Amino acid sequence: MKTIQELEKKLADPSPRLVQDMAEIEGDIIILGVGGKMGPSLAKLAQNAIRKAGINKKVIGVSRFSSKELQKDLENHGIETIAIDLLDDEQLQLLPEVKNVIYMAGNKFGTLGREFYTWAMNVYLPGRVAEKFKHSRIVSFSSGNVYPLTQVRLGGASEEHLPGPIGEYAQSCLGRERVFEYFSHKYNIPIVQFRLNYAIDMRYGVLLEIAKSVYEQKPIDLTMGHVNVIWQGDANEMALRALKICTSPPTVLNVTGPELVSIRWLAERFGEMFGVRPEFVNEEADTALLSNASKAHRIFGYPRVSLRQMMEWTAEWVHADGEIYNKMTNFQEREGVF
């Protein structure tokens, strides 16, 4: 995979099981925060599944749309768009009543120094959204950051593990969940708390960061020695299919790939692909930010795109100097400072 066109096509390719589920999900779909990294591909995936199912259902994307090019691109794919600031309550209340809500709005990058904005986006806004869409079902994107660092030997925190967020970003993610949980109890809103880490797209993600470091022969810090990853298209598909399993009280769902992935192993494999020897600093800690997503895999099946396939695509992308986003995952962060 070497071009944006190939990438976008792959990300928006629905599986037969998504097409079937889309046909069974009653009502239109509104995506709040569609302008982020994952939102556009999720919207296109939903629209393609609707077309393949041969049903009449609208997909509505909501964002500030600072990029009019993105807004036009979504509309060209048959997605309705609404440009508003979700923090403006008057504008929020003007949104149409829609049966299915995918909540992707939030803030992570640049939290340090603007903690007030992160808490407004991640904790205050969910309450306003829950009041507005109290008659809908909601899949709310959350993060594996709500868990503490856990012993690598345990294989990751499952949904039974108590939250223990480190730092204000992670604390605000748990705050978002608790606010949605409160309104789920108050209004009987069916909700899924969608705890995701780390989604992979050729333009960003853990695999890209490791591959680029190896390719450019930059040292790789091994302290956060293990991660989980999942193809963004698979994560988006699970989010859409999760509309069928929303409950009150909310269902909590870890979403990531099945492997516990060694950073050292990743770097060594990329080194073989590029014909270079990776350079490492520090040693792997006994703990890491890891999730056990076996519950999601039982419900939805394993991801379609394998780890090895993602690695091969990433290596091709780096070698071809493909377009990338100027945002880092900060997966190495152990103190919760983003």
pLDDT in tens, 225-282: 999 999 999 999 999 999 999 999 999 999 999 999 999 999 999 999 999 999 999 9
Domain range summary for the chain, segments of one domain joined by +: 4-319
**CA of 109: how far to CAs of 118, 148, 280, 294, 330, in Å?**
9, 19, 26, 28, 9
Query: pLDDT tens digits, residue range 133-180?
Result: 999 999 999 999 999 999 999 999 999 999 999 999 999 999 999 999
Query: pLDDT tens digits, residue range 16-65?
Result: 999 999 999 999 999 999 999 999 999 999 999 999 999 999 999 999 99
Percent of the chain with pLDDT over 90: 93
Report the chain's C-alpha Rg in angstroms.
19
Q: What pLDDT is recorded for position 91?
A: 97
Kindly tell me if the per-residue pLDDT of 67 is higher than 90: no
Taking the C-alpha atoms of residue 137 and residue 129, their distance in angstroms, rounded to an integer, is: 12
Q: What pLDDT is recorded for position 110?
A: 64
Kindly tell me if the per-residue pLDDT of 111 is higher than 70: no
Kindly tell me if the per-residue pLDDT of 217 is higher than 80: yes
Q: What pLDDT is recorded for position 224?
A: 97
CATH topology of domain 4-319: Rossmann fold (3.40.50)
Burial class (CB in 10 A: 0-12, 13-18, 19+), 259: middle
